[in-house]
């Protein structure tokens, strides 16, 4: 016999009839939690119904920018990674908790709790924020939707809030992982009043999105510059993850996975200390190609390139300029180049201007 408090039931009916989905879900969850003792089977059934129904049905068409009609999203039904990530103990622990809470969501719901739904990834460029989100989608077997604000920004200025809203509404429609990547890019261009207003609107949209986000999906915002946004915003996320450049043991692990021996990997790790994963990967790829072209060993070329890129960079302006040009050709921003090489922003501009003139 199912024991339910009639006041609870009456409140639930009221909210349902009024079409107040958020309150309905809240009350339903409370009911499930109370039923757990007297009737665990019914409680489990209701908890499962609640998790499968709490997101509305999927809308068919992807959102597009109202003016340009350009698609706003990248949608991947099944994420494939081209290599396995290496996580620091702290990141591994946190990502593991996210996965556990999702896998055991029914158990949580039976106690009136919800799994984490909004995550914030912080950290400098090239340290695995995007990769972690992709990894999560793959591990959870969910489709990944990516809105990269850095790439859509220019055409969207003035309507970013509206576009983010459309993307969030689309993502709420079915279980998925939605990544709002490079979330701060809009904040970087605070050169005029309009941008400041736009940023404020964007923050409002983000806060609403978190509130309305169904716990059957995961919302991830990634940022290089968390300081540009109000700390109150960040407190609304269930969990913050701070990504950092790889530690020396992590670099050793990375190089080992690339096929470098322990001894050489350990020596190289000291040289590469302070590099990001993206730097490491770039160096490894370039050394692999150079090794093939010159019939030398990959280890040897990598060691040599490591030495020139890190140590000699400080001594030789020639090497420094080569590196600046290479990074610029890869589409890295002046600001990020300056940060990576520990030089000033104007220096980067000057070097690139000089090469253009030649």
Sites of contact with ligand ADP (CB under 6 A): 85-87, 123, 125-131, 243, 254, 277-278, 281
Are 213 and 254 a contacting pair, CB within 8 Å?
Answer: no
Pick 129 or 320: Cβ nearer Mg ion? 129
- Which region holds residue 305: left if phi is over 0, alpha if psi is between -120 and 50, else beta? alpha
The tokens of 314 are what? 């400080």
**Among 33, 57, 178, which Cα is nearest to 119's?**
178
Minimum distance from residue 278 beta carbon to ligand ADP (Å): 4
CA distance 272 to 228: 29
Secondary structure (3-state) at 344: coil
Which partner, Mg ion, ligand ADP, none, binds residue 213 by CB below 5 to 8 Å per kind?
Answer: none
Which partner, ligand ADP, Mg ion, none, binds residue 278 by CB below 5 to 8 Å per kind?
Answer: ligand ADP
Minimum distance from residue 183 beta carbon to ligand ADP (Å): 11
Minimum distance from residue 129 beta carbon to Mg ion (Å): 5
Which partner, Mg ion, ligand ADP, none, binds residue 127 by CB below 5 to 8 Å per kind?
Answer: ligand ADP
Residue 146 interacts with Mg ion (CB under 5 A)?
no
What residue number has its CB nearest to ligand ADP? 128
Pick 179 or 302: Cβ nearer Mg ion? 179
Which partner, Mg ion, ligand ADP, none, binds residue 214 by CB below 5 to 8 Å per kind?
Answer: none
Which partner, Mg ion, ligand ADP, none, binds residue 349 by CB below 5 to 8 Å per kind?
Answer: none
Minimum distance from residue 260 beta carbon to ligand ADP (Å): 14
Residue 157: partners with Cβ closer than 8 Å, 6 or more residues away: 186, 194, 195, 198
Question: Could you give the C-alpha distances from 226 to 121, 188, 221, 304, in angstroms and in order?
Answer: 9, 11, 10, 36
CA distance 306 to 85: 21
Pick 127 or 166: Cβ nearer ligand ADP? 127
Which partner, ligand ADP, Mg ion, none, binds residue 86 by CB below 5 to 8 Å per kind?
Answer: ligand ADP
Residue with tokens 């879900």: 25
The tokens of 56 are what? 């509305």
Pick 86 or 180: Cβ nearer ligand ADP? 86
Question: Could you give the C-alpha distances from 72 to 68, 133, 150, 160, 165, in angstroms and in order?
Answer: 10, 18, 12, 10, 11
Minimum distance from residue 306 beta carbon to ligand ADP (Å): 17
Choices 122-130, 193-201, 224-232, 288-296 (CB under 5 A): range interacting with Mg ion: 122-130
Choices 11-19, 123-131, 250-258, 270-278 (CB under 5 A): range interacting with Mg ion: 123-131
Residue 263: partners with Cβ closer than 8 Å, 6 or more residues away: none
Segment 189-195 long-range contacts (CB within 8 Å, at least 24 positions apart): 189/153, 190/228, 194/157, 194/158, 195/157
DSSP labels for 199-227?
A: HHHHHHHHHHHHHH--TTSEEEEEES-GG
Choices 12-20, 32-40, 125-133, 211-219 (CB under 5 A): range interacting with Mg ion: 125-133
Which partner, ligand ADP, Mg ion, none, binds residue 85 by CB below 5 to 8 Å per kind?
Answer: ligand ADP
What residue number has its CB nearest to Mg ion? 130
- Exactly one of 55, 88, 130, 223 binds Mg ion (CB under 5 A); that residue is 130
Minimum distance from residue 95 beta carbon to ligand ADP (Å): 10
Which partner, Mg ion, ligand ADP, none, binds residue 176 by CB below 5 to 8 Å per kind?
Answer: none
Pick 130 or 275: Cβ nearer Mg ion? 130
The tokens of 350 are what? 């000057």
Minimum distance from residue 86 beta carbon to ligand ADP (Å): 4
Residue 207: partners with Cβ closer than 8 Å, 6 or more residues away: 233, 236
Are 4 and 42 a contacting pair, CB within 8 Å?
Answer: no
Pick 83 or 236: Cβ nearer ligand ADP? 83
**Interacting residues toward Mg ion by CB under 5 A:** 129-130
């Amino acid at each position: 016999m199912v024991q339910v408090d009639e006041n609870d039931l009456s409140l639930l009916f009221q909210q349902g009839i009024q079409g107040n989905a958020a309150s309905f879900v809240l009350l339903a969850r409370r009911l499930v939690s109370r039923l757990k003792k007297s009737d665990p089977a019914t409680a489990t059934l209701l908890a499962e119904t609640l998790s499968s129904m709490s997101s509305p049905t999927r809308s068919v068409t992807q959102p597009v920018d109202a003016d340009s009609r350009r698609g706003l999203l990248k949608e991947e039904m099944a994420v494939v990674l081209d290599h396995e990530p290496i996580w620091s103990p702290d990141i591994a622990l946190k990502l593991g908790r996210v996965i556990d809470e999702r896998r055991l969501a029914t158990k949580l719901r039976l106690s009136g709790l919800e799994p984490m739904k909004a995550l914030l990834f912080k950290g400098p460029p090239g340290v695995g924020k995007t990769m972690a989100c992709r990894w999560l989608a793959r591990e959870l077997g969910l489709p990944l939707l990516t809105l990269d604000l850095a790439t859509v920004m220019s055409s969207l200025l003035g309507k970013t809030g509206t576009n983010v809203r459309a993307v969030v509404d689309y993502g709420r429609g079915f279980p998925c992982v939605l990544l709002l990547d490079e979330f701060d890019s809009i904040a970087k261009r605070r050169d005029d009043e309009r941008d400041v207003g736009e940023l404020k609107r964007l923050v409002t949209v983000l806060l609403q999105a978190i509130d309305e986000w169904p716990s059957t999906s995961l919302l991830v915002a990634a940022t290089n510059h968390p300081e540009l946004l109000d700390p109150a915003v960040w407190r609304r996320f269930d969990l913050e993850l701070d990504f950092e450049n790889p530690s020396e043991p992590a670099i050793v692990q990375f190089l080992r996975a690339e096929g470098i021996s322990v001894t050489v990997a350990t020596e190289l790790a000291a040289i590469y200390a302070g590099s990001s994963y993206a730097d490491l990967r770039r160096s490894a790829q370039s050394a692999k190609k150079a090794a093939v072209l010159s019939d030398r060993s990959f280890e040897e070329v990598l060691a040599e390139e490591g030495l020139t890129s890190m140590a000699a960079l400080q001594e030789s302006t020639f090497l420094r300029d080569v590196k600046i040009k290479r990074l610029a050709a890869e589409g890295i921003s002046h600001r990020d180049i300056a940060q990576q090489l520990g030089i000033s922003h104007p220096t980067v501009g000057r070097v690139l201007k000089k090469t253009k003139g030649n």
